Chains A and B, each alone.
Chain A
Amino acid sequence: MSTPPAGIARLLPVGPTGAALDLRSLADHERHFGPLPAIEGPRIGHPGSMVHEIERAGLRGRGGGWFPTARKIHAVLESAAGRRAWSAGRKPVVLANAMEGEPASSKDAILLRHSPHLVLDGIQVLAATLGAPSAFIAVHRGSSVIDIVTRALAERRDPIVIELITPPARYVASEESALAHWTGDGIATPVFLDRPFQRGVNGRPTAVQNVETLAHLGLIARYGGEWFASEGATSAPGTSLVSVGGAVSSPGVIEVATGTPVAEIIDRCNGFSGDVAGFLTGGYGGAWVATDALLAAEWSPESVSAAGGVIGAGILWALDARECPVQELARIARWMAGESAGQCGPCRFGLPSIADDLDLLATPAAQAADLHRINARLPLVQQRGGCKHPDGTARFVTTGLHVFQDEVAHHLHGHCSASIGAGSLPIEHPRRTPVPLPGRDFR
């Protein structure tokens, strides 16, 4: 075992100048982290020792849900063990999620740009732990990260071959069942009845894991679970990559120990660059939080949600107070409506109808009836979809209307207090709503 790194710059180690090291070449990567040790595979009824280390680490997934990784591994192993011995579907699959569907997130791209081999190590670790003969890494089509991953893969001599796949760049294509669907059948729509750990890629038990989670696995395999848990909050140990954007002086991706006060994260971004109207946490499937409440919280799933937010995939966006927040709600809700897979009625038709009324509410001609219609429809799109896309969108809108209720009231009285145009929150390719035929452009 090589010497474990001290401090919190684990995934993005920094050089003497304070800038993150470029570890894109395998030689540099191995010089820095040491070689990846051999991983024990599962035997009938006995998961390998790596599972024990992951349990000790207390690692939780960084793709949004913060689900305990060891629990997912056990679920995949059990599902595989439940298959008939001669069945081809018995062998698990590892699917690395580098899709980074949230437009305000850039942590996965930054991680891959600096340390692609740490992620690929993590895939090897997970595949060996599960006894998986094949593994995939999914990067969305058109992403600048494709070249980096291609080059990194070409340098390696891995026991388990990792295949790079490029599903379409759609928000719901990165949801785990959609990703497994695309990998097996070439259609990136969410699947309702089968969860990937039960029946994923081609019906096999599939472990879908975010690339940041996998990079942590690459470190746990080298330095152990106890080392991993030596930093961070007890409820969700380790470090976490945060994409900080909006009205901060130095936006970007930083690595922090979980449990770090959110106010300290903002300080590390050199503070606010102006007045802030409120915070978006967790992205467009996340939640808005009042600035004071968020600044008093700590960076852990529990503390951020106690403040009314969602830690999600690690997004913090400070909305510039000069913008109209209601216009931003309307614009993003419309984009999210266009990102539906169009399979489920409440998502396909409900989200655009909420976006229509938000468009009305976003102008100084807004009527109280517009707001009432939104509030009546929001519950109708929740818990009724094949995936959590409409639930996330509804939460984004519900919390936004709450945090920005004063501005909503201004609109209902014929005023808008914005002094600059809205449009700071990033979006790509706005689409027509309701989305055309289910599944058409999901290939």
Chain B
Amino acid sequence: MNQVHELRLDPTVCDAHGFCVEMLPEILTLDEWGYPLLASGTLAVAVPLQLLPSAKKAVAACPVAALRLVKVER
């Protein structure tokens, strides 16, 4: 089994500040309403190892703690 880091968004908390997108443009873009769109199109996206530092910055940049990084077994 493989360990994968997953970035998860709580949509009920996200306030469309967009700071996360600046930190991690590779897998986060803004939709037309100003909310982050994960590359998966859902509320969880796998983070490639080389982007892990940026993902951590994105999590830290969110003023409302809407993002979490979790380790999942795949």
Residues of A within 8 A of B (CB): 189-193, 343-347, 349-350, 353, 379-380, 382-386
Judge whether B16 and A192 touch: CB under 8 Å. Answer: no
Judge whether A344 and B33 touch: CB under 8 Å. Answer: no
Tell me, in angstroms, the Cα distance from A345 to B35 when the chains sit together.
6
Judge whether B33 and A346 touch: CB under 8 Å. Answer: yes
Judge whether B31 and A344 touch: CB under 8 Å. Answer: no
Chain B residues near A345 (CB, 8 Å)?
Answer: 11, 14, 16, 31, 33-35
Judge whether A192 and B41 touch: CB under 8 Å. Answer: no
Tell me, in angstroms, the Cα distance from A385 to B31 when the chains sit together.
14
Chain B residues near A344 (CB, 8 Å)?
Answer: 11-12, 14, 35
Q: With an 8 A cutoff between CB atoms, is B52 at the interface?
A: no
Given contacts A345-B14, A384-B43, 11 further A-B contacts (CB under 8 A): A344-B11, A344-B14, A345-B31, A346-B11, A347-B11, A349-B33, A350-B33, A382-B41, A383-B41, A383-B42, A383-B43
Chain A residues near B41 (CB, 8 Å)?
Answer: 379, 382-384
Q: Is the contact region of chain A dominated by helix, strand, or loop, or is it mixed? A: loop
B residues 34-63 in Cβ contact with A at 8 Å: 34-35, 37, 41-43
Can you give 23 A-B contacts (C-beta < 8 A)? A189-B12, A190-B12, A191-B12, A344-B11, A344-B12, A344-B35, A345-B14, A345-B33, A345-B34, A345-B35, A346-B31, A347-B11, A350-B33, A379-B41, A380-B37, A383-B41, A384-B11, A384-B35, A384-B41, A384-B42, A384-B43, A385-B11, A386-B11
Q: With an 8 A cutoff between CB atoms, is B10 at the interface?
A: yes
Q: Which of B16, B33, B37, B43 has the most CB of A within 10 A?
A: B33
Judge whether B11 and A192 touch: CB under 8 Å. Answer: yes
Q: Write the nearest CB–CB distance from A105 to chain B, whole angstroms.
A: 26
**Count of chain B residues with Cβ under 8 Å from any Cβ of A?**
15
Pick the contact of B35 from A191, A192, A346 — CB < 8 Å? A346
Judge whether B10 and A192 touch: CB under 8 Å. Answer: yes
Tell me, in angstroms, the Cα distance from A191 to B14 when the chains sit together.
13
Q: Write the nearest CB–CB distance from B2 to chain A, whole angstroms.
A: 23
Chain A residues near B10 (CB, 8 Å)?
Answer: 192-193, 386
Tell me, in angstroms, the Cα distance from A345 to B31 when the chains sit together.
10
Residues of B within 8 A of A (CB): 10-14, 16, 31-35, 37, 41-43
Tell me, in angstroms, the Cα distance from A383 to B13 when the chains sit together.
16
Tell me, in angstroms, the Cα distance from A353 to B42 when the chains sit together.
20
Tell me, in angstroms, the Cα distance from A349 to B10 when the chains sit together.
17
- Nearest residue, chain A, Cβ from B33: A349
Tell me, in angstroms, the Cα distance from A189 to B31 when the chains sit together.
24
Chain B residues near A191 (CB, 8 Å)?
Answer: 12
Chain A residues near B42 (CB, 8 Å)?
Answer: 383-384
Chain A residues near B37 (CB, 8 Å)?
Answer: 380, 384
Q: Write the nearest CB–CB distance from A264 to chain B, whole angstroms.
A: 40
Tell me, in angstroms, the Cα distance from A386 to B10 when the chains sit together.
7
Q: Which of A191, A192, A385 has the most CB of B within 10 A?
A: A192
- Nearest residue, chain B, Cβ from A377: B32
- Nearest residue, chain B, Cβ from A387: B12
Chain A residues near B34 (CB, 8 Å)?
Answer: 345
Chain B residues near A382 (CB, 8 Å)?
Answer: 41
Tell me, in angstroms, the Cα distance from A346 to B14 when the chains sit together.
11
Chain B residues near A386 (CB, 8 Å)?
Answer: 10-12
Tell me, in angstroms, the Cα distance from A27 to B14 when the chains sit together.
53
Chain A residues near B14 (CB, 8 Å)?
Answer: 344-345
Chain B residues near A190 (CB, 8 Å)?
Answer: 12
Q: Write the nearest CB–CB distance from B72 to chain A, whole angstroms.
A: 16
Chain A residues near B35 (CB, 8 Å)?
Answer: 344-346, 349, 384
Tell me, in angstroms, the Cα distance from A193 to B44 when the chains sit together.
13
Chain B residues near A346 (CB, 8 Å)?
Answer: 11, 31, 33, 35
